[in-house]
């Protein structure tokens, strides 16, 4: 790093998985990044167990996927079953339109170890372990950060602060951002095991509506497996985590002499979210902004979507001199989405409990669960309130039609049938059209788009275009944002010059 060591574009506090991935995305945009982490370099967490295809897509775009893929496991299927083995829902794990499996499981310490080393070698990232953020103060130019390393105090300056410090976020509390409790709280026992010999257990991601206690069994990578057991009312934590109890609980699957226990702990599954994910130039990401019970495996994936939403905007302000006000769109675009994800996760937990209860009491399953609860649990609810999206970086005239759509990687495929939209567009804005449209743009607008590294994409020989993009191209031209969300489409009432000007007005 060439600049003064104490001055950064971005300071990230917390180096859990979200802080790690956030640091790599910042680096990809050439942002000088400081990471402050209170733990030592030898400590790792083991909570999250899976990435979805959107997260894998982001990992590929920042060059992490190739290093991580040997540590990822593709389960044969995900399912929800009853105690007697009856399958309520089963989905094979297939590659999606993003070109990745819908879900891949992993053992978090293995993933963290690799990303850490990659971040350490990254010239844009300065990593400080054993440093706790204890205070910060901001004005409209910079944020001054105070950290504590033993008895030593350190001071740093950054333009932006990103809080990735997990559930008990100091930053959220200091900013006095109110957190809304979703009134859901269940304690679960989590157990990670490593098999001594070859893998004999099923390669599945399974939720079991067990009538004695809801349970999850998930096959991770490289002979590792996760078991999760809901605690029953009155069970004492100290007793539950004892080795003989743990062995007894998992004896249905495997005998004690066939594995080592790597982690045993009790976790409170709850739902809550901060009313706003930002204040001035300080942003909350991942668990520092919200908690959700992990039934739908979305906490980490949702944090990765936060990163995807925020960092390109910071890049525009820092590296392209765009208007700081565009950063306000981060919270507007994310809070409502996250609220829905939390609701779905809680609904899925309630669905599992209801099914277990129905089985125990011999009630027909259809009577045990309201159809709307099923829809919410499986993410089919249509009631998503997107009103705040109107304040996001989207064309106002197109908001209903495009509904916050993100183009999949396979909307453009090459001769080998590989999705390559991400490679073609990179981390920039892009205009897709049937013909070269540069001459339809005013000179001033064109020059500004070039300064913003806009890609003009109109030559498709050697590629196939997917059905969604083809449909839009039938109508006119389309502008997509660096996160591949659609900014807007042209129409008979809105030409490309007007659409591009509208975007410039929102970000300049
Ligand atoms: C049982 C379980 C299963 C899960 N499974 C999945 C799943 O399959 N898929 C999924 O998407 N999500 C899953 N999740 C959710 C996921 O684990 C979390 O959302 C994610 O790990 C949060 O990461 P984070 O980096 O935001 O927070 P954390 O991992 O909590 O990291 C925060 C970091 O900040 C540091 N820190 C805190 N305060 C300070 C400070 N003041 N100064 C410096 N450093 C500080 C901490 O030391 C820590 O390293 C699961 C969660 C649980 C409990």
pLDDT at 235 exceeding the cut of 50: yes
pLDDT for 382 equals 47
CA 302–ligand 1 middle distance (angstroms):
12
- Per-residue pLDDT band for 356 (boundaries 50, 70, 90) equals confident
pLDDT at 131 exceeding the cut of 90: yes
Q: Across residues 338-342, what is the average pLDDT?
A: 95
- The full set of domains in the chain, from first to last, is 398-507 (3.40.30)
Rg of the chain on CA atoms, in Å: 24
Picking from 311, 310, 320, 315, the residue whose alpha carbon sits closest to that of residue 447 is 320
- Per-residue pLDDT band for 3 (boundaries 50, 70, 90) equals very low
pLDDT for 385 equals 45
Report the length, in residues, of the chain: 508
pLDDT at 41 exceeding the cut of 80: yes
pLDDT at 400 exceeding the cut of 70: no
Q: Which atom of ligand 1 is nearest to the CA of 43?
A: 49
Q: Which of 299, 304, 349 to mutate to test the pocket of ligand 1 (most atoms within 8 A of CB)?
A: 299
Helices (H), ranges, 231-328: 237-240, 243-249, 299-320
pLDDT for 361 equals 82
Q: Which atom of ligand 1 is nearest to the CA of 302?
A: 11
pLDDT at 390 exceeding the cut of 80: no
Residue 113 and residue 374: Cα distance in Å, rounded? 38
- Per-residue pLDDT band for 403 (boundaries 50, 70, 90) equals low
pLDDT at 172 exceeding the cut of 60: yes
pLDDT for 401 equals 64
| Cα 405 to Cα 45, 326, 360, 485, 486, distances in angstroms | 33, 19, 42, 6, 6
Helices (H), ranges, 255-328: 299-320
Q: Across residues 68-81, what is the average pLDDT?
A: 96
CA 55–ligand 1 middle distance (angstroms):
15
Q: Is 186 in the pocket of ligand 1 (CB under 6 A)?
A: no
Q: 441-494: per-residue pLDDT in tens?
A: 999 999 999 999 999 999 999 999 999 999 999 999 999 999 999 999 999 899
Q: Is 112 in the pocket of ligand 1 (CB under 6 A)?
A: no
pLDDT for 200 equals 82
pLDDT for 343 equals 93
Q: Is 408 in the pocket of ligand 1 (CB under 6 A)?
A: no
pLDDT at 180 exceeding the cut of 70: yes
Q: Across residues 243-264, what is the average pLDDT?
A: 96
Q: Which residue has the higher pLDDT, 106 or 352?
A: 106
CA 315–ligand 1 middle distance (angstroms):
25
pLDDT at 388 exceeding the cut of 60: no
């Amino acid at each position: 790093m060439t600049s003064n060591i104490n001055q950064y574009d971005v300071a990230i506090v917390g180096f859990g998985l979200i802080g790690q991935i956030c640091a790599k995305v910042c680096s990809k945009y050439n942002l000088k990044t400081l990471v402050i982490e209170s733990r030592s370099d030898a400590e790792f967490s083991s909570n999250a167990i899976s990435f979805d295809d959107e997260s894998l897509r982001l990992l590929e775009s920042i060059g992490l996927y190739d290093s991580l893929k040997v540590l990822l496991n593709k389960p044969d299927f995900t399912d929800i079953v009853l105690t007697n083995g009856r399958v309520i829902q089963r989905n094979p794990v297939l590659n999606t339109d993003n070109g990745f499996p819908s879900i891949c499981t992993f053992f978090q310490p293995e993933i963290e170890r690799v990303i850490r080393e990659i971040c350490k070698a990254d010239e844009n990232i300065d990593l400080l372990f054993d440093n706790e953020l204890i205070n910060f103060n901001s004005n409209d130019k910079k944020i001054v950060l105070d950290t504590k390393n033993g008895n030593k105090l350190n001071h740093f300056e950054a333009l932006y602060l990103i809080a990735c410090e997990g559930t008990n976020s100091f930053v959220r509390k200091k900013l006095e951002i109110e957190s809304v409790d979703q009134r859901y709280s269940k304690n679960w026992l989590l157990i990670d095991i490593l098999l001594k010999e070859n893998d004999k257990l099923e390669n599945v991601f399974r939720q079991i509506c067990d009538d004695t206690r809801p349970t999850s069994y998930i096959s991770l990578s490289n002979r590792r497996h996760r078991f999760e057991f809901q605690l029953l009312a009155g069970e004492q934590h100290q007793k539950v985590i004892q080795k003989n109890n743990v062995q007894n609980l998992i004896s249905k699957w495997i005998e004690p002499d066939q594995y080592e226990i790597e982690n045993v702990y009790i976790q409170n599954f709850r739902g809550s979210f901060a009313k706003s994910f930002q204040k001035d130039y300080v942003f909350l990401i991942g668990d520092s902004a919200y908690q959700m019970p992990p039934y739908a495996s979305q906490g980490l994936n949702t944090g990765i979507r936060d990163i995807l939403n925020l960092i390109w905007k910071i890049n525009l302000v820092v590296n392209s001199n765009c208007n700081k006000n565009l950063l306000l769109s981060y919270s507007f675009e994310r809070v409502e989405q996250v609220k829905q994800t939390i609701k779905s996760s809680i609904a899925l937990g309630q669905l599992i409990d209801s099914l277990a209860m129905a089985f125990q009491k011999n009630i027909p399953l259809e009577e045990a669960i309201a159809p709307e609860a099923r829809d919410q649990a499986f993410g089919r609810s249509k009631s998503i309130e997107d009103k705040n999206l109107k304040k996001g970086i989207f064309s106002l005239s197109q908001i209903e039609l495009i509904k916050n759509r993100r183009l999949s990687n396979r909307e453009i495929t090459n001769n080998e049938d590989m999705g390559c939209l991400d490679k073609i567009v990179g981390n920039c804005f892009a205009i897709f059209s049937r013909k070269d449209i540069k001459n339809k743009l005013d000179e001033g607008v064109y020059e500004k788009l070039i300064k913003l590294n806009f890609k003009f994409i109109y030559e498709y020989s050697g590629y196939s275009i997917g059905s969604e993009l083809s449909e839009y191209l039938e109508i006119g031209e389309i502008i997509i944002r660096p996160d591949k969300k659609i900014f807007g489409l042209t129409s008979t009432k809105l030409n490309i010059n007007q659409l591009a000007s509208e975007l410039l007005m929102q970000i300049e």
